[in-house]
């Protein structure tokens, strides 16, 4: 039996406003419990919500960045249910008329093909507080600092057909929301959360299978794993003759399995109705145009530009544009290096990214600035140092020993390009290794490497490799 997997993702992006969506309390992360929960956030009797302008702007930005319809009129609705982290006993969200409607974006699959994934809608809502279960002997502690933080819930069409496609889509959304500065994308802190709706059906069947909702996945890797596990689980059930139950499941990272959430009850009746404390949000063309002007170059456009302007491969361009910060960094490096795009691409996505990841530093906090790296690359391009020596220079810069030129100077790393000097070394090596010379001349080509190694060693790595190669070839010809 051939199975088809159908996946839809619901992503909650916490919007990076300074204050909450309906109150003037701060949204800053990490504050002492309940010190950023004002009367409105606490749902005290008599309080009322007032809508944050910036949240609306951010939603519009997202709509524009995904070619989605921005609703001229949208309504907030109450989603009613009881839970201790939901102070009012209802969440202010949007139901029938969301602020952003249909749109789409493109994802690149591993084989290079491009697929369009539909966005059903994106709407504004308020976040709930947090529950802390440890430390309170049979009680749960509620922190409402997070209550009222603005969320943009982005709902995709069920267009994805594999866990990898889902991850590609999730990454694309992540890059878009961070590019347009509406979300910091920090999954560990919960600024970017993903729920996946997964179902399977026999290939060719039109009807969708019963879906389950996977919650609590806060990394790209876990999304892929959780979805694959769920697909396996569902297929097994059906092949054993059973039926998939519609339910919510949590992904358990430690056990690497999904488990059913302690059933709250059958489908919750949320009794949505328009919130009478809020009025319809009206957005005119003028407002949309003004927001459009503030949009930065978006990932897809930037990627296309990088491939043409810098002659980079699609893959390289994609890596370098995965965050706006990296893209900006890269362009600054190219500039500082005098236009060395390929070298810059290699160094940024290679050594720099590797070092950043090793120490878990963001590119904005890189000890090696774009100017410094560009400066170093300039010196590779102008043959002052070889690529190999550059590694040492990079390391030294990373450790704070100065910029490329000062490191090269202080450590005496200048490449030796003087053909006379190189010739002297080459002659000496050849003279001292007649045995290998014979071997090489007899046809053992591999021995060439030995000579190169010896020359480099004798020159402390500073001899220009290209010249060494050429000279050795000449002189060993015999």
Partner 1 sequence: MHNKTLSELSAALKAGEFSSTELTQSYLNRIAELDTHVNAYITVSDESALMAAKAADQKIAAGEAGPLTGIPLAQKDIFCSKGVKTSCGSKMLDSFVSPYNATVIEKFNQAGSVMLGKTNMDEFAMGSSNETSFYGAVKNPWNTDKVPGGSSGGSAAAVAARLAPASTGTDTGGSIRQPASLCGITGLKPTYGRVSRYGMIAFASSLDQAGPMTRTAEDAALMLNCMAGFDERDSTSAQREVPDYTANLSDSLDGLTIGLPKEYFGEGLDASVGKAVEEAIAEYKKLGATVKEISLPNTHLAVPTYYVVAPAECSSNLSRFDGVRFGYRCDDPIDLEDLYKRSRGEGFGSEVKRRIMIGTYALSAGYYDAYYIKAQQLRRLISDDFKRAFEEVDVIMGPTAPEPAFGLGEKSDDPITMYLSDIYTIAANLAGLPGMSVPAGFVNEMPVGLQIIGNYFDEARLLNVAHRYQQVTDWHQHAPAQFK
Partner 2 sequence: MSLTQDDVKKIAHLARLSISDADIPSYEKELSNILGLVEQMNAVDTSDVSPMAHPLDMAQRLREDTVTEENHRDDYQSVAPNVEKGLFLVPQVIE
The site for partner 2 (CB under 8 A) is made up of: 17-19, 23-26, 32-39, 42, 44, 50-56, 82-84, 131-133, 135-136, 138-144, 250, 261-262, 269, 271, 274, 276, 278-282
CA atoms within 13 A of residue 71's CA, in its CB half-sphere: 22
The minimum distance between CB 36 and partner 2, in angstroms, equals 7
What would the DSSP string read from start to end of 254-306? TTTEEEE-----SS-----EE-TTS--EE--HHHHHHHHHT----HHHHHHHH
Q: Say whether residue 88 binds partner 1 (CB under 8 A).
A: yes
Select from partner 2, partner 1, none the partner in contact with residue 56, using the beta carbon and a kind-dependent cut-off of 5 to 8 Å.
partner 2
Bridge-partner residues for 152, per DSSP? 13, 124
Binding track, positions 300-339, relative to partner 1; x by CB under 8 A: ----------------------------------------
Q: Look up residue 35 and give its DSSP letter.
A: S
> Among residues 235, 275, 247, which one has the least CA distance to residue 96?
275
In 58-91, which positions are buried (b, 16+ CB within 10 angstroms) versus exposed (e)? bbbbbbbbbebebbeebbbbbbbeeeeebbbebb
The minimum distance between CB 279 and partner 1, in angstroms, equals 6
Select from partner 2, partner 1, none the partner in contact with residue 43, using the beta carbon and a kind-dependent cut-off of 5 to 8 Å.
partner 1
Q: Which is nearer to partner 2, 110 or 265 (CB)?
A: 265
Could you give the strand order of the β-sheet that contains 90-93, starting from the edge strand earlier in sequence? 90-93, 77-80, 273-274
Name which position in 36, 62, 75, 87 contacts partner 1 (CB under 8 A): 87
Name which position in 33, 43, 101, 465 contacts partner 1 (CB under 8 A): 43
What would the DSSP string read from start to end of 212-255? EEEEEE-SHHHHHHHHHHHHHHHHHHHHTT--PPP-EEEEETTT
Q: Say whether residue 95 binds partner 1 (CB under 8 A).
A: no
Select from partner 1, partner 2, none the partner in contact with residue 45, using the beta carbon and a kind-dependent cut-off of 5 to 8 Å.
partner 1
Binding track, positions 106-145, relative to partner 1; x by CB under 8 A: ------------------------------------x---
First-to-last alpha carbon distance for the chain, in angstroms, is 68
Which stretch in 88-96, 105-113, 190-198, 465-473 sits in contact with partner 1 by CB under 8 A? 88-96
The minimum distance between CB 111 and partner 2, in angstroms, equals 39
Q: Look up residue 463 and give its DSSP letter.
A: B
Binding track, positions 46-85, relative to partner 1; x by CB under 8 A: xxxxxx--------------------------x-x-x-x-
Helix (H, G, I), strand (E, B), or coil: what is residue 91? strand
Q: Which is nearer to partner 2, 131 or 311 (CB)?
A: 131
Rg over CA atoms, the chain = 29
Residue 158 to residue 9: CA distance in whole angstroms = 7
Select from partner 1, partner 2, none the partner in contact with residue 143, using the beta carbon and a kind-dependent cut-off of 5 to 8 Å.
partner 2
- Ramachandran region, residue 152 (left: φ > 0; alpha: ψ -120 to 50; beta: rest): beta
Select from partner 2, partner 1, none the partner in contact with residue 78, using the beta carbon and a kind-dependent cut-off of 5 to 8 Å.
partner 1
Count interface residues toward partner 1 (CB under 8 A). Answer: 28
Q: Which is nearer to partner 2, 38 or 397 (CB)?
A: 38
**Applying CB under 8 A, which residues contact partner 1?**
39, 42-51, 78, 80, 82, 84, 87-90, 142, 269, 271-273, 276-279
């Amino acid at each position: 039996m051939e199975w088809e997997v159908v996946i839809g993702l619901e992503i909650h992006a916490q919007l990076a406003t300074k204050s909450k969506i309906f109150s003037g309390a701060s949204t800053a992360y990490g504050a002492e419990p309940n010190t950023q929960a004002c009367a409105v956030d606490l749902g005290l009797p008599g309080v009322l919500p007032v809508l944050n302008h910036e949240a609306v702007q951010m939603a519009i930005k997202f709509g524009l960045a995904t070619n989605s319809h921005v609703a001229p009129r949208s309504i907030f609705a109450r989603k009613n249910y009881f839970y201790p982290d939901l102070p009012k006993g209802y969440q202010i969200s949007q139901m029938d008329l969301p602020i952003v409607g249909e749109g789409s974006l493109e994802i690149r699959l591993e084989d290079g093909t491009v697929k369009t994934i539909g966005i059903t809608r994106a709407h504004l809502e308020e976040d709930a507080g947090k529950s802390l279960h440890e430390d309170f002997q049979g009680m749960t502690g509620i922190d409402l600092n997070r209550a009222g933080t603005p969320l943009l819930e982005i709902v995709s069409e069920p267009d994805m057909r594999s866990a990898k496609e889902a991850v590609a889509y999730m990454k694309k959304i992540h890059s878009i929301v961070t590019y347009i500065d509406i979300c910091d994308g920090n999954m560990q802190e919960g600024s970017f959360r993903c729920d996946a709706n997964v179902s399977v059906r026999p290939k060719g069947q039109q009807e969708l299978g019963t879906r389950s909702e996977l919650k609590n996945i806060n990394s790209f890797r876990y999304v892929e794993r959780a979805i694959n596990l769920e697909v396996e689980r569902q297929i097994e059930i059906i092949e054993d003759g059973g039926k998939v139950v519609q339910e919510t499941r949590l992904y358990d990272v430690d056990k690497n399995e999904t488990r059913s959430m302690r059933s709250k009850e059958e489908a919750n009746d949320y009794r949505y109705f328009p919130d009478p404390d809020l009025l319809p949000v009206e957005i005119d063309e003028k407002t949309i145009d003004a927001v459009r002007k503030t949009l930065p170059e978006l990932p897809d456009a930037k990627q296309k530009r990088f491939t043409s302007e810098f002659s980079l491969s699609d893959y390289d361009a994609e890596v370098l544009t995965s965050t706006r910060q990296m893209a900006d960094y890269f362009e600054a490096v190219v500039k500082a290096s005098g236009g060395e795009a390929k070298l810059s691409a290699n160094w940024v996505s290679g050594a720099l990214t590797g070092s950043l990841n090793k120490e878990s530093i963001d590119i904005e906090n890189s000890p090696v600035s774009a100017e410094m790296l560009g400066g170093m690359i300039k010196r590779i391009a102008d043959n002052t140092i070889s690529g190999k020596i550059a590694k040492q220079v990079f390391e030294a810069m990373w450790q704070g020993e100065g910029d490329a030129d000062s490191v090269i100077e202080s450590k005496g790393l200048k490449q030796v390009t003087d053909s006379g000097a190189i010739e002297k070394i080459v002659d000496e090596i050849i003279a001292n290794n007649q045995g290998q010379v014979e071997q090489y001349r007899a046809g053992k080509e591999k021995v060439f490497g030995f000579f190169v190694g010896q020359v480099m060693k004798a020159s402390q790595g500073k001899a220009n490799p290209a010249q060494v190669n050429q000279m050795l070839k000449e002189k060993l010809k015999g």
